[in-house]
Amino acid sequence: MQLLRDIIYSMRPRQWTKNLLVFAAILFAGKANDLHAVWQVVVAFVAFCILSGAVYLLNDSLDANRDRKHPDKCQRPIAAGRIPVYEGILLAVTLALLGLAVSYFVNFSFFLTAVTYLALTTAYTLWLKHQVILDVLTVSLGYVLRAIAGAEAISVAISPWLIICTLLLTLFISLGKRRSEIVQLEEGATGYRETLQEYSTGLLDQMIAVVTASTVVTYCLYTVDERTLQVVGTGNLVYTVPLVIYGIFRYLYLMHQKQLGQHPDQLLLTDGPLLLTVALYTAAVGIILYLVP
């Protein structure tokens, strides 16, 4: 029983909230009331949870020695020695095959996107995470692939503006995470993540400023784009812009003033105002697209 708990823990269930991005396409495409489409996306979500769990197991297996130097990661089952490294790799391969099998039953386009996601995240684990700038770009592309996969699951086209927004917003979060890691780990930062020695808080602050402004502008353009108006049938999405701005500014506040941001998945689930903003935004989009004539 303890081994099963350790395996599930190593698959990072808390991180599976990232896979909720597969639901973005069905929401913005106006198909959230189509039961078949909802089922397809639910299966897609399960597939990505399995695939991401496989990648986390592989990552922990390959980084066991480095994780032992980290104040928090040293408690992970593989780093702590409760799961042998070779078993972690075997479990990762098994889960990857299972996740791809589930993906194939959604449709072939989704399957190809899932394969691309698995290849990208595996490349990140093996090499890309050690390359400055490419590390955060790769993480963000993983989010973009989740959003694209959600569209492929229900065979709809995804707006290029949403792809760009997803890329920029996740870059914002990834850069913030790097900044928080440097601040919190101080001199020991380079001991467990090699690329941290290539960053500085000043450089990251400049990157975050560029990405923050770009995210807001891109989302504003998306809400008033002619193609968006044709697809969603309304221009009222522009009224969600204040919620987006507040959410980004709240995250910046928590990152700079409260020294948070190292664990964005936990932050999004534990900070009341931020969680409320996400809920209000989701509700606002739902009302605008499905209830307002």
pLDDT at 193 exceeding the cut of 80? no
Contacts of 124 (CB under 8 A, 6+ apart): 135, 138, 139, 142
CATH architecture of 1-158: Orthogonal Bundle (1.10)
pLDDT value, residue 125: 92
* pTM higher than 0.75: yes
Average pLDDT score over residue span 40-47: 98
Q: Comparing C-alpha atoms, which of 90, 151, 152, 100 is closest to residue 121?
A: 100
Distance (Å, rounded) from C-alpha 24 to C-alpha 214?
20
* Torsion angle defined by CA atoms of residues 78, 190, 134 and 214, in that order, rounded to the nearest 10 degrees: 110
Which range, of 28-32, 96-100, 216-220, averages the lowest pLDDT? 28-32
For CA atoms 114, 115, 120, 121, the dihedral sign is: positive
Alpha-carbon span 224 to 242, nearest angstrom: 14
| pLDDT tens per residue across span 117-152 | 999 999 999 999 989 999 999 999 999 999 999 999
Q: Where are the domains of the chain?
A: 1-158, 159-293
| Confidence (pLDDT) at 77 | 83
- pLDDT for 191 equals 53
Handedness of CA 156, 52, 32, 270 (dihedral sign): negative
Model confidence at 196, pLDDT cuts 50, 70, 90, reads: confident
Read off the pLDDT band of 84 (50, 70, 90).
confident
Residue type, 292: V
Q: What is the pLDDT of residues 261-278, one digit of tens each?
A: 878 888 888 899 999 999
**C-alpha 276 chain-centroid distance:** 19
| pLDDT of residue 111 exceeding 70 | yes
Q: What torsion, rounded to 10 degrees, do the Cα atoms 157, 163, 164, 168 define?
A: 170
pLDDT averaged over the chain?
A: 90
